[in-house]
Amino acid sequence: MSKTVKDYVTEANAVVPKLTPEEAAQRMQSDDVLVVDVRDADEVRQTGKLKGALNVSRGMLEFRADPESSYHDPAFRKDRTILLHCAAGGRSAMSGKVLKDMGYSDVYNIGGFSELASCGIEVEKS
């Protein structure tokens, strides 16, 4: 039986904890937290991004997170907390599951950009 996007998101939500915007804002105060925006570049250009967040589109996440990849971004370290968000929370949930599968342990889905920005988390425009 084939899977749907809903199936993948449900599986991801079962293993990736979800934080409220308030919990996310509190965790973002730590110096050892990486906030990753997995939206596509066009989405980020239209709305801006959370201040200090690293934009890595969902399609490049595995390459940026894998130390063996020529595309690796050293901001990805398995000893730090990673907070993921997208537009609504689905892509960030699936991204969190992928990172957990890759050996990252302290990974959280913080939901959608608009919800986070509306709770007072600072946004920077590009």
Q: What's the pLDDT score for residue 124?
A: 95
Assign 91 to helix, strand or coil. Answer: helix
pLDDT at residue 63 tops 90: yes
Question: Residue 39 corresponds to which tokens in the numbers above?
Answer: 């939206």
The model's pTM: 0.96
104 contacts: CB under 8 Å, gap ≥ 6: 65, 76, 78, 82
Question: Residue 9 corresponds to which tokens in the numbers above?
Answer: 């998101």
pLDDT at residue 126 tops 80: no
Q: What's the pLDDT score for residue 73?
A: 98
- Residues 5-120, CATH architecture: 3-Layer(aba) Sandwich (3.40)
pLDDT at residue 23 tops 80: yes
- pLDDT bucket at 6, cuts 50 / 70 / 90: very high
12 contacts: CB under 8 Å, gap ≥ 6: 93, 94, 96, 97, 109
46 contacts: CB under 8 Å, gap ≥ 6: none
- pLDDT bucket at 26, cuts 50 / 70 / 90: very high
User: In the 8-state DSSP scheme, what is residue 34?
Assistant: E
Ranges of each domain in the chain? 5-120
Q: 35-70 in b/e burial notation, b at 16+ Cβ within 10 A?
A: bbbbbbeebbeebbbbeebbbbbbeebbebbeeeee
Phi and psi (nearest 5°) for 18? Answer: -105, 130
